[in-house]
Structure 1
């Protein structure tokens, strides 16, 4: 659970580093926006690296990456809706459903069942 929490928090920081300037700093010079984004991304790395270190072994490298991408998309959908004021169109929803199916394949197929308690 700590891996998922750390990945979620890191993705919140990264989403603001990559897209927050579109709403909050669009009137600043590009060089200042880049430096500010780097500063925000520092905190993303401070969370992402431990998330992957703690998660590796419980999850494979592939699973960690797929999990990170799914979390990134969930965080971005919330960000786009709440911060950027964008609606989720049907084609984006279908695309996200396809990615959810991909995550199901990654985690559900050929994974041994959890041991009984």
Structure 2
């Protein structure tokens, strides 16, 4: 469970690092790049331990698949709450395909 929680927390940081600046289009690119790098540092401080702790309980492929699904869940919440974008049917259909990918990745 700690691995999942660390992956969620790291993805929150990374989503803000990659997309948080979109609300600040008036800021120079160099500034948003530096701020993004600063935020991404904290993402790495969570992602690396998550992968290290989770490896063995999960395979590398399973960790990556979990990370991708968590990334999209975090991004969906972020895009609706922070950017004010709407989720549409095709977003849900794409997510359903990822759930299928998780299913197959975790088959032994």
TM-score in terms of structure 2 length:
0.97
Q: CA deviation at 1:38?
A: 0.1
| Pairs aligned (count) | 108
Distance 2:26 2:102 in 1: 38
Q: CA deviation at 1:105?
A: 1.2
Where does the alignment leave 5 or more consecutive residues of structure 1 unmatched? 111-117
Q: CA deviation at 1:13?
A: 0.1
Partner residue in 2 for 1:113: none
Distance 2:41 2:88 in 1: 32
Q: Which protein has the larger Cα radius of gyration, Structure 1 or Structure 2?
A: 1
Partner residue in 2 for 1:76: 75
Partner residue in 1 for 2:8: 8
Is it true that 1:17 corresponds to 2:17 in the alignment? yes
Partner residue in 1 for 2:52: 53
- Offset from partner CA, 1:8-66 (integer Å, 9 cap, x none): 0000000000000002x221100000000000000000000000000000000000000
- State the secondary structure of the residue aligned to 2:83: coil
Detail structure 1 runs of 4+ shifted over 3 Å in the superposition: none
- State the secondary structure of the residue aligned to 1:20: helix
Q: CA deviation at 1:104?
A: 1.2
